[in-house]
Amino acid sequence: MYERKTLPELNCGLDLIGEVLYGKWKMRLLWFIHEGFQRPSELQRKIPGASRRVLNVQLKELESHELVGKVIYPVVPPKVDYYLTDLGKSLIPIIRVIGQWGDQHDQQLRALILKNINL
């Protein structure tokens, strides 16, 4: 486990949300869990660009920040279901508008990003 060497700044709402939501895949994980993809293997299939490892790490962080919870079924092969906590659910409208903004500006953004792949 990586141990951080610098302390986070927690001055304002943006700092706070940054600490819990700053992670490449966290918003997608919350979104897909909200959409009903609750098992780790399902989430991995929904996000093929991320390694299994990172998704586990980020799910664990989301869990430790109580945005998601998990149910572990004592069966073999293992089965786990993630779910959104109330705190996590309250983020869904925000993630929705963020995604909408991205969709609305899809073409423009795509062009800008590709133009600047290497600055």
Partner DNA sequence: TCAGATAGGGACAAATTTATCCCTATTGAC
Partner DNA sequence: GTCAATAGGGATAAATTTGTCCCTATCTGA
Q: Catalog residues that contact DNA under the rule CB under 7 A.
A: 1-2, 4-6, 22-25, 39-41, 49-54, 56-60, 70, 72, 76-80
Q: Which helix (H) or strand (E) holds 89?
A: helix 86-89
∠ CA 67-20-69, nearest 5°, is 20
Binding positions for a second copy, 13-52, rule CB under 8 A:
13-20, 22, 24, 27-28, 31, 49
CB count in 10 Å sphere of residue 48: 7
CB count in 10 Å sphere of residue 33: 25
The residue type found at 73 is Y
Q: How far is the CB of 81 from a second copy (least distance, A)?
A: 22
Select the residue interacting with a second copy from 4, 72, 73, 76 (CB under 8 A). Answer: 4
Residue 8 in contact with a second copy, rule: CB under 8 A: yes
Closest to DNA by CB, 53 or 115: 53
